[in-house]
Amino acid sequence: MLIPVLLSGGCGTRLWPLSRQDRPKQFLPLLGQESLFQITANRFQAETKPLIICNQEHRFIVAEQLREIEQSSSGIILEPEGRNTTAAITVACLHAMTIDADPLILSLPTDHLLEDANQFQQSIEQGIAYAQKGHFVLFGVPPTHPHTGFGYVKIKGKKPPAAVQDFKEKPSKKTAEQYLKQGNYFWNSGIFLFKASVMLSALEKLAPDILACCKNAFKNAYSDLDFIRLDHVFSQCRNVPIDTEIMEHSSNLTLVPMRSGWDDLGSWQSLWEAQKKDQQDNVIKGDIVALKTTGCYLHSEHKLVTTLGVSDLVVVDTPDSLLIASRSECEGMKIITEQLRKTNREEMKHHRQVYRPWGSYDNIDRGARFQVKHIIVNPGGKLSVQMHHHRTEHWVIVSGTAKVMRGEETFYLSENQSTFIPVCMVHSLENPGKIPLELIEVQSGSYLEEDDIIRLKDQYGRCKKTNPML
């Protein structure tokens, strides 16, 4: 039995301001209508149900995106805190062995590009024979140019499949050029195939502390709606990648070539390279007027953006942030994101539009004692029964039908109707209709943060959590 394990816990900060903590790049439609996560999940037949590992903050995004593509799963395991791929793959193996005695595990990131699905499938089928013999199989990408942003894997001999001889970190351009000339170096895709029992044996030998921690976290896990919540002891695991912790110290590692048009989409440069361009070599997303502009990545979500007489730039405009950078400097985005993190900028963590299990809201405006939101509630969606100690709320219905509970009252509102929620009034909002419910909410008061939400009842199981942002 083969169980794909979709690793969905990354942050993708090099693609800021689109990729952020609350909605990282794997959940964004960067290459079309579907997100990278959905594209990855869609690579497998309906009978091959993937196992998802993600951060608990992203659980409703994962569930909703699976629902949109009508893909079921073998489980959605929630990490209380991201602890890198060694810990994630360990709990995946533990869970997988409750499904089958000793399944094959195909672990892969959900934020990479794989252009040729057939070639990808052929590589997997080639790797299965080695994995069944107890090998760790790494899928290596034949390099096409001396890329300095990827890790490299050296094989014994010249022709794969072959045993892995060495791992090399991101090299200088001169070193990468030497790798290409030698002909036995491949890009490390980060995709691995192995038996669950082989991985657990390797962990017992090479990382017994992580294995013990994950066993405790999995033993004390509990089900929450469609999710499997790991115990918080999981957060005590060492934060290390599977490559350096296990693979680099294993002698039973075989590289199988993967010629499927792979890229990790780890920078604006790689995203520009991966997409169709106009006659001036520009990638254009949104309302853009580009004159005398060449070789640029131009992205606008809500407003007209114009350029004149520029070349080789990245311009990304979101409702609350604007990035202007040289394409040649995009590998250095870490400088910007580290600065934003040090100064605790909200723009590093959250988009202006925030997604919830019932829908989403957009923070339109905010002042010292007021905040205005555009709220969308999906059909059947319901906000928790809640109250606030420090703010009042005015709701004005824009479209759809709202079922409102306010204190002892329950009533319906339709387009252009409104209601008022006083401080400390218990209330809830529901969409009983067949179309999205849209409303404008005006908050006023001395404190307007989300932690002034006191949940009393919630159909999404959020009352048990201390963090109201979840």
Rounded to the nearest 5 degrees, what angle is found at the Cα of 164, between the Cα atoms of 162 and 168? 135
Rounded mean pLDDT, 219-223: 95
Question: What does DSSP say about strands 385-387 and 253-257: parallel, antiparallel, or unpaired?
Answer: unpaired
Interval 321-326 mean pLDDT: 96
pLDDT of residue 468: 42
Give the pLDDT confidence score for residue 330 in this predicted structure.
84
Q: Token pair of 320, please?
A: 């609350």
**Structurally, what CATH architecture does the domain formed by 353-457 represent?**
Sandwich (2.60)
DSSP character for 15?
G
Residues 422, 392 contacting (CB under 8 angstroms)? yes
So what's the pLDDT on residue 470? Answer: 46
pLDDT score of 464: 55
Cα(18)–Cα(322) distance, integer angstroms:
10
Nearest to 323 by CA among 10, 14, 98: 14
Q: What percent of the chain has pLDDT above 70?
A: 99
pLDDT digits (tens, 9 = 90+) for 28-40: 999 999 999 999 9
Strands (DSSP E) along 238-390, which ranges?
253-257, 262-263, 283-285, 288-291, 297-300, 305-308, 313-317, 322-326, 353-356, 359-366, 370-377, 385-387
Report pLDDT digits (tens) over 169-214.
889 999 999 999 999 999 999 999 999 999 999 999 999 999 999 9
Domain positions in the chain: 2-263, 268-332, 353-457
Instruction: Collapse the DSSP code of 239 into the 3-class scheme (helix H, G, I; strand E, B; otherwise coil) and give the result.
Output: coil
Q: Which CATH class is domain 2-263?
A: alpha beta
- Tell me the pLDDT of the chain averaged across its residues: 94
Q: What is the mean pLDDT of residues 118-129?
A: 95
- How confident is the model at residue 158, as a pLDDT? 84
Separation of alpha carbons 50 and 66, rounded Å: 11
Residue 236, SS3? helix
| Look-up of token digits 């209601």 | 419
pLDDT digits (tens, 9 = 90+) for 80-114: 999 999 999 999 999 999 999 999 999 999 999 99
- pTM of the predicted protein model: 0.89
Q: Say if residue 462's pLDDT is above 70.
A: yes
pLDDT band at residue 466 using 50, 70 and 90 as cut-offs: very low
Rg over CA atoms, the chain:
24
C-alpha neighbours within 13 Å on the C-beta side of residue 59: 22
